[in-house]
Amino acid sequence: MTEQPSPIRVWYRPMRSRDREEHHRVATPLELLFDLCFVVAVGQAAAALHHALAEGHAAHGVTSFAMVFFAIWWGWLNFSWFASAFDTDDVPYRLATLVQIAGGLTIAAGVSSAFEGDFRLIVAGYVLMRLAMVTQWLRAARSEPECRPAALRYAAGIVVVQVLWIARLWVPGTAGAVAFVVLVVAELAVPVWAESSRGTTWHPHHIAERYGLFTLIVLGETILSATNAIKEGTIEPGHTGALISLAAAALVLVFSMWWLYFDRPGHARLVRRPTMFTSMSWGYGHYFIFAAAAAVGAGLEVAVAYDTGTLHLGGVASALPTTIPVAVFLLSVWLLHIGPTNECRPIAIGFPVTAVLVLAASFTPAPIHVAAGLTAALVVLTVVASHGSRSPV
């Protein structure tokens, strides 16, 4: 039997489409490294949001966080879907991924200045990431005739939008904010336009795994906040009991969020209804899941500051930074994984009802604890309601 060359010794391969039905299609070590580098950007965005909320600048903080997180999420999303369809793991592919990682780290370095209104560094990192994707799409267009129309549309659309992102840096005030929204719509429209010619062969199970891994990354921000609560308890003797209790509630909260997201196979909808609308709505809708999960960590940091008496906000104002993103997370998981018309009515109804109750928990004396209890109760409901009725996927 002839020995097959290892991927490292093959320096170049034609960039052919991967088989959509390929068995055992899992995340590669390079994809995991890519995710690891994006942890830095997510952490910087969550930390900047926490500082803005703690200083009472909620509207500015949330707006800046949403803008910064779009750059992080969109760069990650485009890499992941492209890799699902065309990953060759040869030397040029790895080097292009290295450039994208450099762009992601540049975005992380520019988060603080972006919250102060200076987006130059973030745009530099973002454009670097996106132009690296152009080289990948041009390789795909050259090697894969069937996907050439879509690949060329991707490349052309990305280049045009990046030029506009750079031009936006000189657009001030309200006009700049409007331009940002217009360019976000343009970015979202490029895949819709490109895939309408001939869809790329992304792998449903692989995409679901990639999204699950990024969900774990953003949930990690919440775990970090729970850890900070315990650390603060060791240096704030007068608040030790309250902070340890808060840490326990935060741990229950993040575990419940993890359970609810992964309770249903993420690829199920992509396999059952593999239309462009299904894949786009599922892929784009995860922005709210990812951003909400990362924001929960920032909210818990605010709750820690409130319990230690270092925050000049009221109880409700210090609770909302946690309860609002938890509610958004629950509603987003409900829409993308469960569905309002789910055959199991207790589960279909339980998610939106719990989201409303979590928001109402903001007005209770112990909002984080109540929110944690409500999400844990929803976990119990899903386990009991689906017992014996779930078929393996």
Residues 326 and 356 in one domain: yes
Residue whose tokens read 């969550």: 46
Same-domain status, 262 and 131: no
The number of beta carbons lying within 10 Å of the beta carbon of residue 298 is 27
Whole-number pLDDT of residue 124 = 96
- Cα–Cα dist 110/100, whole Å: 15
Q: Please report how the helices 204-235 and 240-262 are oriented relative to each other, as an axis angle in degrees rounded to 10.
A: 180
Q: Are residues 219 and 83 in the same domain?
A: no
pLDDT band at 200 (very low <50, low <70, confident <90, very high): confident
**Overall average pLDDT of the 182-193 stretch:** 96
User: Looking at the structure, do residues 215 and 309 belong to the same domain, yes or no?
Assistant: yes
3-state secondary structure of 20: coil
241 pLDDT higher than 50: yes
Domain end marker among 195, 229, 257? 195
pLDDT tens, position by position, 27-57: 899 999 999 888 889 989 998 998 898 888 8
Are residues 181 and 209 both part of a single domain?
no
Q: Give the domain-ending residue among 175, 195, 215.
A: 195
> Is residue 273 in a domain?
yes
The more confident residue out of 134 and 393 is 134
d(C-alpha 375, C-alpha 273), whole Å: 29
Residue 22, in any domain of the structure? no
Residue 8 domain-assigned (yes or no): no
Exposure class string for 65-80: b at 16+ Cβ within 10 A, else e: bbbbbbbbbbbbbbbb
**Residue 3 CA, distance from chain mean position:** 40
pLDDT tens digit string along 342-383?
677 788 899 999 999 999 999 999 999 999 999 999 999 999
pLDDT at 169 over 80: yes
Judge whether 130 lies within some domain: yes
Q: Residue 10: inside a domain, yes or no? A: no
Single residue among 163, 195, 227 that ends a domain in this structure: 195
Alpha-carbon distance 384 to 390, whole Å?
A: 11
Task: Let me know whether 256 and 363 are in one domain.
Answer: yes
